[in-house]
Every structure is written in C-alpha cells, then in structure tokens.
A and B are shown apart, each in its own frame.
Chain A
Amino acid sequence: MAAPLLELTNVSTHFHSPAGRVRAVDGVSVSLEAGQTLGLVGESGSGKSVLARTIMGLLPSYAEIPEGSAITFDGQNLLTMDRKARRAISGPGIGMIFQDPMTSLNPVMKIGQQVYEGMRHHFGTSKAAGRQRAIELLTEVGIPQPDVRIDQFPHQLSGGMRQRVAIAIALACEPKLLIADEPTTALDVTVQSGILDLLQREQRDRGMTLILITHDLGVVAGRCDQVAVMYAGGIVETGSTRSLFARTRMRYTQALLDSIPRLDRPPHERLKSIGGRPPNLITPPPGCRFAPRCAFSDAQCESAIPPMQADEADATHSFACWHPRDPEQTAEEVA
C-alpha cells in the first residue's frame, strides 16, 4: 500500500492566553491517502479549524506546537521545514478555502488577478497565459460569463459565486491537497449543494485529496470516504463514512447524531439533547473529555483518558471510549 499523502502524528496546537495554556488541539493522529476525502466534523471550539490552520502553517504568533508533533505531507515533515520551503508548499502542495467568501477575497483586487496571482508567484506564468487560465478555471467552477466576471470585483458577486471564485483561486495552483474549512456554512442550502457538488467533482477529476471541515454531519455523510469526529481538541472517532455511521461506537458521535432534528421524524418529537457545554480547554477534564456530559460515564471515564482502539469488524474504524456503544444494538435509538 502506498504511503499516505498526509499523516498527522500526535499533533497538538496550544495557545498562550493570559488565563493559561489553551489546548485547542491535543494529540491528534490521522492519516489520509491520496485521492481520498476526509470529513472533519465537530462543534464550535472542537479544534477542527485550528487543526486545519496548523496543517496550513497559518497559526498566529501566540500559538505553540509542542515537541513530538509531526505533520508529514508527501514525505516531508511540515513542522521542521524552513519557512521558505514551507511557503512553496502552500498553493501547489496544499490549498485552502475559508468559511467566509466575503472576507477571504481581496475586495480591491479584480477577480481574475486573484485567480492568476498564485500561478504567477509559484510557476511564473505570464500575465496573458494566467488570464487565459483564469477564464478556464472560472468556467470550470461554474461562473457564468467568465470573460466579463474576470474584470469585476468581489462585491459584484453573490456569496455563492464568491465561494466559487475562492475555489478557482485554490485550484489555480493545482494543489495535491485541498482543505475546505466550513466552505458552505455562510451560504444558503440551495447554494450549498452546488458548492459541495463542485468540490466533489474537482476532487474526482483531479485525483485531488480533500479535507472537508464542517459542523454538519449531513454534509459529510454523502460526500466523504472517511470521517473524523473531533471533540474538545481531540479526534474521538474516525473511520470509513459507512462504518462510522452504521456502527457508531463513541458515545459523543452517537449523541451528536441523535440531537440532529431529522426530516423523517414526526413533528414535536422531543430531541435528545446533550446536556451541559464543551469543557474549558485550559483545564480540560482529566479523563475522557466528553465524560462530564456523557450519560454512560463512570469513575474510569472521569480519571483515565481512553486510548484509540480499533472496531472489531473494521480495523480502519477506531474510537476513544471506555464504554463504547454496541453497534449491533439499535434499541436505544428506537426508545
């Protein structure tokens, strides 16, 4: 089997704040093969966006990546690289799309220029060739009248169109890995599905690897090969999408799935909510971080951190839980 394109080993990202050290990401290990799509799911503050920025090298100065963390991309450790080599990877190696297409584009630069800027920088593409390529890319991402749009400014486009432009900018450098951080959260549902379709198509056509970060389990379910669920800075369950949804083991994943209102349920049905709120990441609970909110927790959960263990039926599916859910049992969902 080929080496994975991206491999995170025990990656942590801590922030220094006046109140103490914030463990925004804490000991994350995950690997992703070329051409795969990984869905990174979690609620606010789970660390999913910080993890993306750690991979991209976009952390602010008060962030610290502790010793022992390693991010291997295409055979190179991103964390030990010098800054120049690291910068050369951003763009042609790893591209990124942000949540808010209103602010991720430069408001005073024409759209076309924003698309070919990266190509000129990384490949020395001429202006004329860059412009030609920009029109092709805008066409590819589904922007009508690309030859007109190329000379417009971002504010002249709708939110969905801006996100398409952001995708074109990322694709211009032909990245091997594309990280999309909540690419559709700021958009309407009807626009969302178009953007997700586009990402999926580009990923397939280019054989690109994609990390799709979202808070919406619905988004990952239909579109990702692999899913990793994050809670309070760590990955608590990961596996193939099919296995993770069909044989959910970790209690948090299940609770999250249960709390989503569904179209196929009757009106006014009481939702299974998760009590409390996520823990403070300066002084996280000593054991399982979900223990204080978990209905199945006991003394062991509160004192010892559960290790990642493999699911019996599927070795690629692993989870961190002392009292995992029995995947054969469906009664608790019915009740």
Chain B
Amino acid sequence: MSQVLLDVRDLVVEFPTRKGLVQAVSGVTFELRRGETLALVGESGCGKSTTARAVMQLPRPTSGQIVLDGDDLVAAGKRDLRRLRRRFQMIFQNPIASLNPRKRISEIIEKPLKIAGLMDAEKRRQAVEELLETVGLDPAVAMDKRPHEFSGGQCQRISIARALILEPDLLICDEPVSALDVSIQAQILNLLEDMKQRYDLTMLFISHDLAVVRNVADRVAVMYLGRFCEVGTSESLFDSPAHPYTRALLSAIPVPDPTVTPKPIEMIQGDLPSPISPPSGCRFRTRCPVASERCAAEVPEMRDLPDGRAVACHHPLVGA
C-alpha cells in the first residue's frame, strides 16, 4: 500500500567484553513501510533494544545497511548523520532518567530546534507550548518546571513532545511504557496512537510485553539471542504462532481471567545460553521442545509462509 521508509539489511552489532566479543545482533533484516508500526519483542538480552539503538546509530552498528528514505545511515558521515537525525527520533524506557534533571521543561523540549538551528526564540516557545498542549500537559504550568516535579507518566509525555518537535518520520519507542503503572500505561499508549495519526508517524516499537504489542503493532518481529525467529502481522502471529519460541512466549503471558488455568509454558526451562558462544544451528534449539539434529547442524533461514509471514525454523508449527 505504501513505500518502504526504513530498510534494514544484515544488521550486525558487536560489543567487546572482558569475556570476549558479544554479537548482540547477528544479521537482522527487516523493512518498515510508511505509516506502519513494527514491534520487536523478546526477552531481555535478545538484542531488541540494541537493534533499536543501532537504527538510531547509538552506537553505530558493526556492519549492515540501514536505509531511511533513500539515505544510508550506516554509510553517512558524521555531519550528514547529524542533519539526518531530525527525521528519526526516539523515546526511552525510563521517563525520568531521559530528561536532564537540571533543565526546565521548556529548555528540554526546545533543544532539538536549537541544535537544528530552526526558528527564533519566540517561535520556538510557541512551538513548545503547542506541543505540550498536544501531549496533554498545560503549558502555563509545565514550561518552567523541572522534571522531578512530574510523575513518570507526565515525564513520558514530555519525552514524546521532545521527540516530536522536529516532526520526524520515524519514531523509535524503546519500552516506552514498561516503567509505568497499568493505568498510566494505557494513557501513554493512547497518546502514542493519537500522535501517530496526527504526525503520520512510522513506529519501531520495542517491548517485552506481548499484550502491549498486540495493541500497538501492525506487524511483529520476535527476537531470540540476536536473531529474528518470526515476522508477521500481529493477527497471524498471535493467533497461530509458527515458531516454537513465539508459542512459548505467548503461553507464558498471565491472563487476567481466573477461569483460565495457567498452562506450563512450552519451552525447556533453563538459562538463556551465553551470547558469547551461542548454540550452533538454530539458537533456540537448546530450549526448544521440537528440536531435532538438523536444528543443531543447520542455521534455519528466514522463509516466507503462504500467509505472508516469515519464520526461521526447520519445524514450523504452521504451514510447513
């Protein structure tokens, strides 16, 4: 229906650690169409946040291609990148830590404009006021306060305002509601949805909470140990998971309904393997209930299923 805004190919991110080189993201490929929300889900340490930060070029990835609307961010020089940054912005998990405690709210929100050298002081102030109102805060009250005078939910609104003031095309949300209480979480999710409509945003949404993802995402990518397991529309993936890991994740979610007895999760209990020496072949095989010898020998390639999704598994649960 629409063109590709973000095209990520063979993304690899490595970190040196004392125990050796860790490959946090090992060759991830996906695209994001204009106006769509893609969610990256997985457990902690799966590389979802690292992928998001690699797209932000913070730090710059080890290898791969990240093309935003024709411009390759990985290949871009420092100065070009600084100019391009206007078009992709990010909000973070910890709403309070993501605001400088010593700055006023007006300074925090107008800073992107200042750095970009846009508008004079008067215009900037106007823009900040408008945006504060849009994210549901009273500018007259909020402008001159400092972050610690606000609750977590309000701080997240301020973060959203800061990310939107440059009117970016792409908004990356790294666990934006996981630090918030349920009742506040719903407010922020609704606000993000409103902002998406209003500013024609394309979103990359990182979360460990599948119920939240179900609410916000058009498409979902499940990650495990630095690789994608399965990518598909949120309906197909939630209704009939094709990858055993997706099924395990879904079965682990507690359902707020006492008539549903919690089932044991369909995954072998144990620790996540070390990312320094990940298992050969399929990385999930050490905890996979349907793993075979082939899974140890051969890395499963991403392949398309008839219903349009892609799965990296030798023994997919549907459409094999």
Q: When A and B assemble into the complex, do they touch directly, with CB atoms less than 8 Å apart?
A: yes
A89-134: which have CB < 8 Å to B?
none
Contacting B at CB under 8 A, from A246-265, are: 246, 255-257, 259-263, 265
Please, which residues of chain A bring their CB within 8 A of the CB of B208? 188-189
User: How far does the alpha carbon of A271 sit from the alpha carbon of B190 in the complex, in Å?
Assistant: 6
The stretch among A166-174, A211-219, A298-306 that forms the contact with chain B is A211-219
In Å, the complex CA distance between A5 and B291 comes to 47
* Interchain CA distance A242-B259 in the complex, whole Å: 7
Q: Give Cα A295–Cα B183 distance, bound, in whole angstroms.
A: 14
Contacts of A190 in B (CB 8 A): 43, 248-249, 252, 265, 267
Contact, CB under 8 Å: A245 / B262? no
B113 at the interface (CB under 8 A from A): no
Whole-angstrom distance from the CB of B308 to the nearest CB of chain A? Answer: 16
Residue from B154, B182, B211, B269 in contact with A263 in the complex, judged by beta carbons closer than 8 Å: B211
Query: Does B187 make an interface contact (CB < 8 A)?
Result: yes
Task: Check B217 for interface membership: any CB of A closer than 8 A.
Answer: yes
Interface size range of chain B in the complex: 35 or more
- Which residues does chain B contribute within 8 Å of A84, judged by CB atoms? none
> Are B193 and A268 neighbours in the complex by a CB distance under 8 Å?
yes
Q: Tell me if B211 and A262 are in contact (CB < 8 A).
A: yes
The interface centre, meaning the residue of A189, A223, A260 with most chain B CB atoms within 10 A of its CB, is A189
Is there an interface contact between A265 and B215, defined as CB atoms closer than 8 Å? Answer: yes
Which residues of A sit under 8 angstroms from B250, Cβ to Cβ?
263
Which B205-220 residues have a C-beta within 8 angstroms of A?
208-212, 214-218
B258 at the interface (CB under 8 A from A): yes
Residues of A within 8 A of B189 (CB): 261, 271, 273
Do A188 and B234 have beta carbons less than 8 Å apart? Answer: no
Residues of chain B with a CB closer than 8 A to A262's CB: 211, 214, 256
Residues from chain A with a CB closer than 8 A to the CB of B210 are 189, 263
CB contacts under 8 Å to B, within A209-230, are 215-219, 221-223
A260 neighbours in B (Cβ, 8 Å): 182, 186, 211, 256
What separation, in Å, do the CA atoms of A155 and B210 have in the docked complex? 29
Whether B234 lies near A259 (C-beta < 8 A) is no
B-side contacts of A59, CB under 8 Å: none
Instruction: Assess the A194–B182 pair: CB atoms within 8 A.
Output: no
Check A263/B214 contact, CB under 8 A, given A188-B43, A268-B193, A270-B190.
Answer: yes
The answer to whether the Cβ of B29 comes within 8 Å of any Cβ in the partner chain is no
Q: Which A-chain residue is minimally distant from B261 (CB atoms)?
A: A222
Closest residue of chain A to B193 (Cβ to Cβ) is A268
Instruction: Give CA–CA (A270, B215) in the complex, Å.
Output: 8
B182 near A267 with CB under 8 A, answer: no
Q: Does B144 contact A (CB under 8 A)?
A: no
Give Cα A191 to B187, complex, Å. 28
- Asked whether, in the complex, the Cβ of B252 is within 8 Å of the Cβ of A161, the reply is no
> In angstroms, how far is the closest chain B Cβ from the Cβ of A106?
21
At the interface, yes or no: B255 with Cβ under 8 Å from chain A? yes
Q: Which residues of B contact A76 (CB under 8 A)?
A: none
Contacts of B256 in A (CB 8 A): 217-218, 221, 245, 257, 260, 262
Bound form: Cα–Cα A190–B208 in Å? 11
Which residues on the B side are within 8 Å of A217 (C-beta)? 182, 256
Asked whether any CB of chain A lies closer than 8 Å to the CB of B118, the reply is no
Complex Cα spacing A259 to B184, Å: 9
CB distance from A274 to the nearest CB of B (A): 4
User: For the complex, is A275 an interface residue (Cβ under 8 Å from B)?
Assistant: yes
- A189 to B269 CA separation, bound complex (whole angstroms): 12
Whether B149 is near chain A, meaning CB under 8 Å from some CB there, is no
Residue contact A267 to B215, C-beta cutoff 8 Å: yes
> When A160-B271, A262-B214 are in contact, do A43 and B181 touch as well, CB less than 8 Å?
yes
User: Across the interface, do B211 and A259 meet the contact criterion of CB distance under 8 Å?
Assistant: no
Interface residues of A in 171-220 (CB under 8 A from B): 188-194, 196-197, 215-219
Distance (whole angstroms) from the CB of B272 to the closest CB of chain A: 7
In the assembly, what is the distance between CA of A29 and CA of B212, in Å? Answer: 34
Q: Which of B216, B253, B267 contacts A268 (CB 8 A)?
A: B216
Closest to B187 in A: A273
Contact residues in A for B238 (Cβ distance below 8 Å): 263
Query: Is A309 interfacial (CB-CB < 8 Å)?
Result: no
Q: Are B182 and A259 in contact, with the CB atoms below 8 A?
A: yes
Minimal Cβ-Cβ distance residue in B for A200? B262
User: Among the interface residues B187, B210, B254, which one has the most CB atoms of the partner chain A within 10 A?
Assistant: B254
Asked whether A193 lies within 8 Å of B265 as measured between CB atoms, the reply is yes
Min C-beta distance of A238 to chain B, whole Å: 14
Name the B residues within 8 Å of A256 (CB-CB).
Answer: 182-183
The answer to whether B183 touches A242 (Cβ under 8 A) is no
Q: Which residues of B contact A196 (CB under 8 A)?
A: 254, 262
Scoring B151, B182, B210, B248 by chain A CB atoms within 10 A of each residue's CB, the highest score goes to B182
Q: Please, how many angstroms separate the alpha-carbon atoms of A245 and B256 in the complex?
A: 8
Q: Given that A221-B256, A257-B256, A267-B214 are known contacts, is A43 also in contact with B182, CB under 8 Å in the complex?
A: yes
- List A contacts of B63 (CB < 8 A): none
Check B187 against A192 for contact (C-beta < 8 Å): no
CB < 8 Å: which of B44, B215, B262 contacts A271? B215
| Known contacts A189-B249, A267-B214; A222 and B43 CB within 8 A of each other | no
Q: In this complex, what residue of A is CB-closest to B250?
A: A263
- Mask, A271-284, CB within 8 Å of B = 1, is 11111010000000
Q: Does A139 contact B (CB under 8 A)?
A: no
Q: A160-B271, A188-B43 are in contact. Are A269 and B215 (CB under 8 A)?
A: yes
With A261-B186, A265-B214 known, 7 other A-B pairs at CB within 8 A are A189-B210, A189-B253, A193-B252, A215-B182, A217-B182, A222-B262, A271-B215
Query: 8 A-B pairs, CB-CB below 8 angstroms?
Result: A43-B181, A189-B253, A194-B269, A242-B259, A265-B214, A267-B215, A268-B216, A273-B184
Counting from the closest, the 9 A-B pairs by CB-CB distance are A218-B254, A273-B186, A274-B183, A271-B186, A259-B186, A261-B215, A222-B262, A188-B43, A43-B181
